[in-house]
Every structure is written in structure tokens, then in C-alpha cells.
Amino acid sequence: MILKIFSVILIAGLMVPSAIASPASCGTTHYSSYDVSGFSCTIGGLLFDDFTFSNSANPSGNTIADTGINVTPITTPGDEGFQFSMGSLVTGDGSAYNFQDEILLFHVSTTDGSTLTNLTLYFNGSQTGTGATNVTENYCLNATTLVGCSSGNAGQIKVTDPPPSFNDQVLLGGGAKSVYVSKDIDAAALAGGTACSPGVSCDTAHISIVSNTFTHGSVPEPWSMVLVGSGLVGVGMLRRYRRN
């Protein structure tokens, strides 16, 4: 009888997690597949949701749409995130301020009870002449928006060229379990530069990769603890049964 009870406990512990619906794993696809109302996905111990997107450019026909940004999940355990690939290229003709600007926003939270410890940002921006590239990420801890974020929870990391600074990161404190980020990707060629012509160097700005990772600690999975606890209870009951 005791063995039957123990078996029921184990089976129940295994069945309950499968009965709870959970978001799918984040996939390799265009950002347009993420930028959908209500969409969420997971990578390791992190849940990503509330994706939005906006863009602008001069000339206006030079914008990069969300379908033009490829998303590849970064699956390093405890350091998950995304790599965004795009063909951002701005060429200056010396007469106007030309640019491409994309803003990617989303929310990140831990699913395993761990806390976020740091954010890391990388890009491979390059430029010539008056060209300039940068990615600025504003964030708010334990929030689902940047609006009204308190100074103690708000922050910013940034990568640029020029000056060449391709990596930036920030250590997080306060036991944050979620963060809302706004990533502004900007490539520009300033007015007053050199016009492109055969044999003459012109003003360009180029960004093809932006990577963003969210480091977090590890803790035992809740259902693993349930199963371990169930096993201990069963072992205790079995020993008591044998003694009797």
C-alpha cells in the first residue's frame, strides 16, 4: 500500500508541469514574428515578452522594417539573450543628414527564481568620414515600461563608433528579477561631409550585428524540488513501513 502511495505521488509530480501551458522557445526568425501582441517565448531560464518596434530614416524610403531584422537566440546557460542581424547602411552625399534608426523594446524576466546580475551589449558598427554608429539601451529594473521609472531602477548602456567602443555592460543590484529594455540602433552620415564619387572616400555608417545578453544566477527548478521532496517523503514512509 505504501509503495502504491509513493508511486501516485511521483506520477502526480511528473504530470502537473506538463499540464501547465508554457511559452514556446524563442526561435530564429524575423523580428516581425516577435513584434506581435501577446507574444512571449523563453530561452533557458528567461522569459521574453512585450516586443514592440519603431523606425525612421532620411531619406524616408531608406527605413529598415522589422522583417529586415533577423533574430537569433543566444542560448548560453545563465547568459541568454538575442543577436539581431540587419543590413543597416547609410551613405552621405555631403548635403544632408542621412540616417537609419530602429528602436527595439521588450521585457525580460527570470522563470527559475534567479535574479538578473548584469546586462551586456555588443555591436560591430563601422564608419568612414562623418559617418557615426551607436546603439543606446535604456532599461528599467522590475518594470514593464520605461515611463515613470525611478532613478534607482533606471540606467543606460551604450556602444559607439566613433569613438570605437564595441562592448558595454552594467552590473545590476537589488535582486532584480525582470527588466524592460529599449534598444535604439542608429547609423548616420552628417551633413557637410564628402560626397561619394569614383576614387573619393565618402561618408558611411554600417551596422550588421547587435547582441544583447542578460546574465542571471541559477537556482534549483521548482518542480525538481517537488520531485526531490516527494522522493524523500516516499523513502521515509517506506522505511517506516519496513520497520513495522
**Average pLDDT for residues 41-58, to the nearest whole number?**
98
**Average pLDDT for residues 158-186, to the nearest whole number?**
95
Residue 64 covered by a domain: yes
| pLDDT exceeds cutoff 70 at 102 | yes
Residue 101 covered by a domain: yes
pLDDT reported for residue 20? 52
**Average pLDDT for residues 139-155, to the nearest whole number?**
95
Residue 4 covered by a domain: no
- Structurally, the chain folds into a number of domains equal to 1
pLDDT reported for residue 6? 43
Residue 51 covered by a domain: yes
Q: What are the tens digits of pLDDT across the range 57-95?
A: 999 999 999 999 999 999 999 999 999 999 999 988 777
pLDDT reported for residue 227? 46
Domain of 76? 28-220
Share of the chain above pLDDT 70, in %: 77
What is the rounded CA–CA span in Å between residue 162 and residue 159? 9
pTM of the full predicted structure? 0.81
Phi, psi of 23 (to 5 degrees): -60, 155
Beta strands in the chain, from DSSP E residues, in sequence order = 29-30, 40-43, 46-58, 70-74, 79-92, 98-110, 116-123, 126-128, 131-141, 154-161, 167-171, 178-189, 203-216
Residue 19 covered by a domain: no
**Average pLDDT for residues 148-159, to the nearest whole number?**
95
Q: What are the tens digits of pLDDT across the range 178-218?
A: 999 999 999 999 887 766 666 565 889 999 999 999 999 86
Burial class (CB in 10 A: 0-12, 13-18, 19+), 50: middle
| pLDDT exceeds cutoff 70 at 164 | yes
Residue 156 covered by a domain: yes
**Average pLDDT for residues 142-157, to the nearest whole number?**
95
CA angle 95, 100, 105 (to 5 degrees): 155
For residue 233, give the C-alpha cell: 517523503
pLDDT reported for residue 5? 44
Query: Which of 14-18, 87-91, 116-120, 140-144 has the least mean pLDDT?
Result: 14-18
Burial class (CB in 10 A: 0-12, 13-18, 19+), 22: exposed
**Average pLDDT for residues 137-149, to the nearest whole number?**
96
| pLDDT exceeds cutoff 80 at 39 | yes
| pLDDT exceeds cutoff 70 at 137 | yes
Residue 140 covered by a domain: yes
For residue 40, give the C-alpha cell: 512571449
Residue 155 covered by a domain: yes
pLDDT reported for residue 243? 54
